[in-house]
Amino acid sequence: MKKLMLIAIFSLLFMANAFALNIDKVETFPSTVEPGNIATIKLKIENSLEDTVTNIIVKLDLSSSEIPISPAGSSTQIIDEIDENDKENVEFDVI
C-alpha cells in the first residue's frame, strides 16, 4: 500500500486551528498485507502552531469504492490535545 494513497484516505476534522496540524508520518504494520488479514495504520499528527490544539478528530475516510480496505474497529480517533510543536500518534485497524 503506497503512502500517498494512505494520506489521501484520511480526513482530519478540527474544531479550531486546522491549518496548524499536519500528518507527519504514515506507517502500516505489517508493511505488506494479504487480503483478509488485519493491518494497523499508524499516523503521527504534528501541531506546528505555537499554541495547544484541542478536540482533534481524526477520521479514516474509506467511502471511495477505489479503496480496497475496511475498518476493523473504529474509524474515528479523538485526540484531546496536542501541545505546541508536539506530535501525537493515532492507530486504525483495517482489513
Residue 14 has pLDDT above 50, yes or no: no
Taking residue 33's Cβ as centre, other Cβ atoms within 10 Å add up to: 16
pLDDT of residue 10: 52
> How big, in percent rounded to 5, are the helix, strand and coil portions of the chain?
10, 50, 40
pLDDT on residue 61: 86
Give per-residue pLDDT as tens, 21-74: 888 899 999 988 888 899 999 999 999 888 898 988 898 888 888 878 889 999
Distance CA 36, CA 52 (A): 39
